[in-house]
Amino acid sequence: MAYGRQYGSGAVLLVDTYDPHEGIRRAVAAARRLAEEGQVVRGLRIDSGDLGALARRARDALDAAGLRSVQVVLSGGLDEKRIAELLAAGTPVDAFGVGTALGVAEDAPVLEAVYKLVAFDGRPVGKTSQGKASLPGPKQLWRRRDGTADVLGLAEEPGPGEIYEALLVTVMLEGRRTPAGLEDLAAARARFEAAWARLPEEVRAIADPATLPLRLAPGLARLVGLDPSLELDPQSALVVVDVQNDFADPRGSLFVPGGDEIVPLVNSLVDRAHQAGARVVYSQDWHPPVTPHFQTAGGPWPVHCVQGTWGAAFHPGLQVAGEVLQKGAGGEDGYSAFSMRDPASQRQVPTGLAERLRAAGVRHLVVCGLALDVCVRASALDALAEGFAVTVVAGACRAVGGKEATAATLAELQAAGAEVHPDPAAGPALEAS
């Protein structure tokens, strides 16, 4: 009572943690007596136990005592995930007290940071080690003003248009803050809240957030090998092979080293295909839980891309805007987007993609994806056998077997009649750091 009288409307009564039910009863009784004296406390805080159930008990007791203005405050080991769970459950709470999780990085106690050179003596450079590759040159990131997509480009190249805004702004120059760097805390908070509100709900999710589609601006795309000499037109089709979580995410069961690095390059190709009036087709491994394809049934591969699972889903950063061809759905064994082996007869059977593309007037296929030395290779060779002209975009592929497998596969595809873009004989497009 003395505490309540001392702090009045600023007082928050802490419920006894030894017996929280009795503690709530006593706290409400004290709050009612203080109210009768003209001192309405700010809130009642619960710090342990079943916070959701105790919050309901406290709210009911406060309301029954005529103390509807008194807030329910929850604390005790809270973080953003636990708060989200309480709110989703409809917990009657007015405020949260967060301590340890706010002051200490419990989920990531170590910050791993690496400095990577992007330019040297005026020349763009980048790391080329598979799985650790970096894009060359100083960069700018543009975001659509509706918060739905990003474009990454070179700092000196023009932006993608008025519907995008540049996110990187100089705040310090020659030891002095620029006008942009003079923004006060309230303005910075307002700017963040507005930008956050524009993002799609799935990107703002606390658990397993999605990522915005990212594509490369023309200048950066040219620097990594996606130059304008790559021809796409209404008689072309872009075939994106198996850019799925099990292959393109480091957590996947068959992660291809560097598989996640190709996503923005593939997105750039998808944009170029649509701009040129070309078709876009995505192949997707779609295996049943039991198939001769898997080691569990005598096959060569670990279980992967099982129908309806996270591993079978397309990488969340991939821009999917075209026909999706699911392969292996009936237990067939095969790698190509154009053919597969029937598990009963062992005969190669077509997927039907070649017939559909020919019927649409397509003559030229541009192929990219994962893995270069497995499914991309098989798809490109089958497409050549079907009579299509084939271009393999080397920069938008990664191989299971690393650099040696990449070189051998590209040489094999060239010998079979495919064009490799860019031509490996032309040498690297940038210097390695």
Encode pLDDT of 364-388 as tens digits: 999 999 999 999 999 999 999 999 9
Question: What is d(CA 182, CA 205) in angstroms, rounded to the nearest whole number?
Answer: 31
> What percentage of the chain has pLDDT greater than the value 70?
95
Q: Average pLDDT, stretch 13-26?
A: 89
Length of the chain (residues): 433
Find where tokens 């699972």 sit. 309
Q: Average pLDDT, stretch 155-165?
A: 92
Residue 99: the pLDDT is: 86
Q: What is the mean pLDDT of the chain?
A: 89
How confident is the model over 198-208, as pLDDT tens digits? 999 999 998 88
Q: Is the pLDDT of residue 290 over 60?
A: yes
Under the banding of pLDDT at 50, 70 and 90, the label for residue 133 is confident
Q: Average pLDDT, stretch 25-50?
A: 92
Q: Is the pLDDT of residue 238 over 90?
A: yes
From the candidates 305, 368, 375, 397, which is the catalytic residue?
375
DSSP state of 373: I
Q: Is the pLDDT of residue 433 over 70?
A: no
Residue 297: the pLDDT is: 84
How confident is the model over 327-338, as pLDDT tens digits? 988 888 779 999
Topology given in CATH for the domain delimited by 224-432: Rossmann fold (3.40.50)
Residue 176: the pLDDT is: 94
Find where tokens 């075209």 sit. 322
How confident is the model over 352-368, as pLDDT tens digits? 999 999 999 999 999 99
Topology given in CATH for the domain delimited by 2-103: TIM Barrel (3.20.20)
Residue 369 has phi, psi (to 5 degrees) of 130, -150
Question: What is d(CA 21, CA 12) in angstroms, rounded to the nearest whole number?
Answer: 17
Cβ neighbours for 165, distance < 8 A, ≥ 6 positions apart: 142, 143, 145
Q: Lowest-pLDDT range, 59-68, 244-253, 284-293?
A: 284-293
Q: Is 254 helix (H, G, I), strand (E, B) or coil?
A: coil
pTM: predicted TM-score of the whole model, two decimal places: 0.70
Please check whether residue 28 is in contact with residue 34, taking contact to mean a CB–CB distance below 8 angstroms: no
Give domain limits for the chain: 2-103, 137-198, 224-432
Residue 122 CA, chain-centre distance (Å), reads: 32
From the candidates 242, 271, 285, 382, which is the catalytic residue?
242
Residue 227: the pLDDT is: 64
Burial 248-263 (b: 16+ CB within 10 A, else e): bbeebbbbbbbbbbbb
Q: Is the pLDDT of residue 308 over 70?
A: yes
From the candidates 47, 246, 249, 327, which is the catalytic residue?
327
Find where tokens 């805080």 sit. 45
Q: Is 124 helix (H, G, I), strand (E, B) or coil?
A: strand
At 82, which amino acid appears?
Answer: R
Residue 408: the pLDDT is: 95
Give the up-direction half-sphere exposure of residue 346: CA atoms within 13 A in the CB hemisphere: 0
Strand blocks (E) in 163-213? 164-166, 172-173, 176-177
333 is known as an active-site residue: no
Residue 367: the pLDDT is: 97
Cβ neighbours for 4, distance < 8 A, ≥ 6 positions apart: 11, 13, 30, 31, 34, 39, 41
Q: Is the pLDDT of residue 129 over 80?
A: no
Residue 422: the pLDDT is: 74
DSSP state of 179: G
More confidently predicted of 432 and 132: 132
Sheet containing strand 12-14, edge to edge, reads 12-14, 43-46, 71-75, 95-97
Find where tokens 């191989």 sit. 399
Q: Is the pLDDT of residue 110 over 50?
A: yes
Residue 430: the pLDDT is: 41
DSSP state of 182: G
403 is known as an active-site residue: no
CA triple 309-314-317, angle to 5 deg: 130
Sign of CA dihedral 285, 402, 408, 232: positive
Residue 145 CA, chain-centre distance (Å), reads: 19
Residue 130: the pLDDT is: 60
Q: Is 15 exposed, middle or buried (0-12, 13-18, 19+ CB in 10 A)?
A: buried
Q: Average pLDDT, stretch 128-143?
A: 82
327 is known as an active-site residue: yes
Binning the chain into helix, strand and coil, the percentages to the nearest 5 are 35, 20, 45
